[in-house]
Structures are given as structure tokens and as C-alpha cells.
Amino acid sequence: MKAVIQRVSRAHVQVGDKTVAHIGRGLLILIGIKKGDTEQHAQLIAKKCADLRIFEDENGKFNHSARDIGAEALVVSQFTLLGDTARGRRPSFTDAESPQRAERLYEYFGRTLSQLGVPTQHGVFGARMVVSLDNDGPVTILLEA
């Protein structure tokens, strides 16, 4: 499982002309599910996201997590994180999990993050989405389990 975590001042997802999710200050989490990933991988990444200290304290130090400050999360499935570009010019996505299994783990990841105390909204799995964000910092972290 791969995740790109971006600290945002706001973010939203549109499908067509409809906004399907939006958050204020928090985390935009792009998540890619690879073959062999399990609920334990999802739990590990969710806990890391909830506890990752990337929000500044009064001294400008990264000392607060999303849970500490009551931040929200917006989770978007993105199988392209698993693109292999080692050969040729077209990415190979053979490491990506099947859509049915990936959707189940994606939903499990979001539920786990919510249960950890981070209010969570979601994009639409498998849909063509427009993701808009104001990256705060910018702060972008890559995680893999």
C-alpha cells in the first residue's frame, strides 16, 4: 500500500459537476492498493496518517498530528501510485490490486481512519475525479506499507 499525504488548508473532489467531498484544514490522502495488501497494511497506514506530526505548534515545529488538532481527512483512491515506469514510456499497473478487492481495502482504510478520531470523507472509487487542494506549506509525505 502506498499513500501520498498532503497537508492542506482545504480540499475537495468533484465527479462531473458535483462536489462529492470537501474538507477544511487537514490531510488529503491519495491511496494506492497493491496486490497482497491486507487490512493490517490499511491499519498501519491509517494509524500513521492519524498520528503523523506534520502540523506546527506555536513555535513552528512539526509537533501536532491530525488527531491533536482535530483535522479532517479526504481519502482518494489512486491506483496510478503503483505505476511501474522501469521499462518503456507507458506505466505498467500490474502491481495494482483488482478493483473489487482494492475498493474493499480502500473503504476499510477510510473507516479505520475515522475510528482513530480523524473525520474522514472520500472520493468515489473508480470514478474520474477532479481533486482540488490548497497544499499548506507545502507539506507532502510518502508512506508505504
- Grid coordinates representing 48? 500513521
Report pLDDT for 112. Answer: 98
- Grid coordinates representing 62? 512539526
Q: What is the pTM of this model?
A: 0.96
Number of compact structural domains in the chain? 1
Q: What is the mean pLDDT of residues 65-86?
A: 97
Mind spelling out the 3-state secondary structure of the chain?
A: CEEEEEEEEEEEEEECCEEEEEECCEEEEEEECECCCCHHHHHHHHHHHHHCCCEECCCCCEEECHHHHCCEEEEEECHHHHCECCCCCCCECCCECCHHHHHHHHHHHHHHHHHCCCCEEECCCCCCCEEEEEEEEEEEEEEEC
Owning domain of residue 139 = 2-144
Report pLDDT for 75. Answer: 98
**pLDDT band at residue 22 under the 50/70/90 scheme:** very high
* 11 contacts 133 by C-beta, under 8 angstroms: yes
Q: What is the mean pLDDT of residues 97-102?
A: 97
Active-site residues, by number, are 78-80
Over residues 41-72, the pLDDT tens digits come to: 999 999 999 999 999 999 999 999 999 999 99
* 132 contacts 19 by C-beta, under 8 angstroms: no
| CATH label of the domain that carries residue 6 | 3.50.80.10
